[in-house]
Amino acid sequence: MPTELEELVEFLHHGNTQIRQIAAENLVGYSTAQPSIFKAQQLTPVKDLKLLVKDYAPIAKNALTILVNISEDQEVLKHLATDDAFLESVLLRITHPKEPNANLLSMLLANLSKSDSLPTRIITLERTIPKSLSSTPVALDQLLDLFVKGAEGRYNKDADYDYLSYLFADTAKHAEGRKHLVTSWKDDDNIVPLTKLVVFTENQSEVRRRGVASTIKNVAFDISSHPQLLAADGVNLLPYILLPLMGPEEYSEEDTEGMLEDLQLLPPDKERERDAEIVKTHLETLLLLTTTRGGRDHLREVKVYPIVRELHLHFGDEEVGEGCDRLVQVIMRDEEGEETQAENRAPKIEEVESDEDEKIVDIL
């Protein structure tokens, strides 16, 4: 005979709305405590939950919470991420300006992006254009517009869409994703998608800052895009990743000569990024940008060294300090064929350890 819990799971597809609601509400806790119950009968409960996403808002909220929590399971993740009809259902709802569960949908998409199939699919997927949101049929670009316009409840009073930044970071792990993010598109006013994201490196939301920082770093693995990333008339990336590293310190005239204008004369209450992981991510991005001679020379010309020096002095984290050391060693070392000056001599750079993927989102 089925247990009481197994019977409760079966009520997810009951014809009575109140019974479905009670079942979904009571099963939320088991999505973290005993997630295997949702894999019974060849994932029948998961299939029921996908349908409940379209149900009344309270039922959909509980169904989405469960799906967010159980999508850590690889079998469940694959089932959800490869279902195009379900993906369209999620996209249809998340882009609606009055969707009450939009943030949960953002979390679900962030988790589904851990599957290799979804990031590459969302780059090529074209769908109906939500007129109040976007001008492009590409799903990824619609989500970018949602992320921008929806910040702090400006598109939907019930959502900020911060967790979409994790989807963008995972998308940028793929060559196709990196290419898309640095390419200007005619149906989007010839805007380079990455320029929509870099402006959020000092946003008040830690989730948003973290996801955007990881997206930028992953894009920087494409060495061919470095000139565009660094160019003032391109992405103009440096001000956006250097400002979070800076505090209220004053710099000497020698240090500021050549420094980017956006980084000079900062107010005395300027706050430095407090999250060590985000700071390390920005340092790793800067290190990636030193891959070419042109990148190294550019970072020297705009006086990145004094900024990193002050960061090292004022940020009390061992790993951040190590990241500063690695970057300084590259910036201050002599190039091959150039005469070495004793004051600029530096030991060999260490390799950067690869960071862990963004964690699966859980709702407790």
pLDDT for 41 equals 92
Across residues 182-201, what is the average pLDDT? Answer: 94
Is residue 343 classed exposed, middle or buried when 0-12, 13-18 and 19+ CB atoms within 10 A define those classes?
Answer: exposed
Query: Between 349 and 328, where is the model more confident?
Result: 328
Res 356 pLDDT > 70 = no
Please list, residue by residue across 110-124, b when 16 or more beta carbons sit within 10 angstroms of its beta carbon and e when fewer do: bbbbbbeebbebbbe
pLDDT, tens digit (0-9, with 9 covering 90-100), for 196-253: 999 999 999 999 999 999 999 999 999 999 999 999 999 999 999 999 999 999 999 9
pLDDT band with cut points at 50, 70 and 90 for residue 187: confident
Query: Between 3 and 287, where is the model more confident?
Result: 287
Report helix, strand and coil shares of the chain as percent, to nearest 5: 60, 0, 40
Res 1 pLDDT > 70 = no
- Beta-carbon contacts of 274 under 8 Å, excluding residues fewer than 6 positions away, are none
The whole-model pTM stands at 0.91
pLDDT for 358 equals 56
**What's the count of helices (H) and strands (E) in the chain, helices before strands?**
21, 0
Q: What percent of the chain has pLDDT over 90?
A: 87
When the pLDDT of each residue in the chain is averaged and rounded to a whole number, the result is 92
pLDDT for 345 equals 41
pLDDT for 101 equals 98
Query: Between 74 and 358, where is the model more confident?
Result: 74
DSSP state, residue 340: P
**Dihedrals φ, ψ of 185, to 5°?**
-125, 130
Q: Measured at the alpha carbon of residue 268, what is the angle toward residues 264 and 269, in degrees to the nearest 5?
A: 115
pLDDT, tens digit (0-9, with 9 covering 90-100), for 248-288: 999 999 999 999 999 998 999 999 999 999 999 999 999 99
Q: What whole-number distance in Å separates Cα of residue 269 and Cα of residue 164? A: 30
CA max distance for the chain? 82
Res 100 pLDDT > 90 = yes
Across residues 26-42, what is the average pLDDT? Answer: 95
pLDDT, tens digit (0-9, with 9 covering 90-100), for 121-175: 999 999 999 989 999 999 999 999 999 999 999 999 999 999 999 999 999 999 9
pLDDT for 189 equals 87
pLDDT band with cut points at 50, 70 and 90 for residue 78: very high
Q: Give the residue from 319, 328, 330, 302 showing the smallest Cα distance to 356.
A: 319
DSSP state, residue 348: P
pLDDT band with cut points at 50, 70 and 90 for residue 347: very low
Across residues 38-46, what is the average pLDDT? Answer: 95
Q: What whole-number distance in Å separates Cα of residue 147 and Cα of residue 262? A: 25
Token readout for 304 is 């990145």
Please list, residue by residue across 212-229, b when 16 or more beta carbons sit within 10 angstroms of its beta carbon and e when fewer do: bbbbbbbbbebeebbebb
